[in-house]
Structure 1
Amino acid sequence: MSRYQKRVGMTLVELIVVILIISILASLAIPQYFRALEKTRAGEVAAYMGSVRRAQDRFSIKFTVYCNDANSLDIPLLQTKYFNNAFVLTNGAVATTGWQATFTRLASPMPPAPYTAGYTVIFNSLTGNFTSSDANVTRDLLPQ
């Protein structure tokens, strides 16, 4: 090989450095991707709660109590992909206790770590806040 001939390609060390850099970037990006994906899945409940809230307001005006059976509301039941379709409503007197809706996350597809399988999302009508049985879900995924 001539002394002045151009070197073509990469050395093994350069290739290993490139692979290391790519793997470090991937290890940082992949968890963020799964967190964003799970946030959109939890958003399915948050979007539906607007309809449930308005239906509960109409029901309470008509009957002076909140509805405790989702089938009695004047909206179609949501066919969710990631949460149990049979959500639970607990009610009370209109002026004092309000109502809560509880949705349970289906185990399949499995939520990514650190979120637990089967976590619940609870909407409280008095506070207008979402909470969860999993503190990580409340912190990362739910609207505040």
Structure 2
Amino acid sequence: MEALIPDLWQLEDMEDNVVKERRYTRDHEWVDFYETHLTTGVSWFKLIGIRKIDKISFVKPFTGFRREGEPLAVIICNDYQITAHMPVDGYIVKVNETLDGAQLLNTPESEGWIAVITPWEKEHNTRLLPESAYSQKYKRRSV
């Protein structure tokens, strides 16, 4: 079984850079699937109650192969830590080194992306929750 590992320049220049599907992990990470790669981050639900993020630390090495469930980043809020995990087995192609706490809190499921990953398997999303099911289970409440 071989992974599809596009060069970073291919990801940035892809004409077909349109989300094909969004899914969620059981630990509240969102995953946007594209043709050859995915982006991931933490869902709004995982950030409930957090008012300020002090620091976002990416787990080194920043690129390379990681297994599903391994840590990608640690979000530090006072004495509390939230870990973002790998949603699938795959290669980390890029991390969002410009991500800051305000950006993550305000737009966690768009501008707040944490990493670009090339999945190891083509059928990588079968264990993840479809967006419609996640939205039904975790409904946003108006403030």
TM-score (norm 1): 0.24
Higher strand share: 2
TM-score (norm 2): 0.24
Higher helix share: 1
Asked which structure has the greater CA Rg, the reply is: 1
Higher relative contact order (CA 8 A, sep 6+): 2
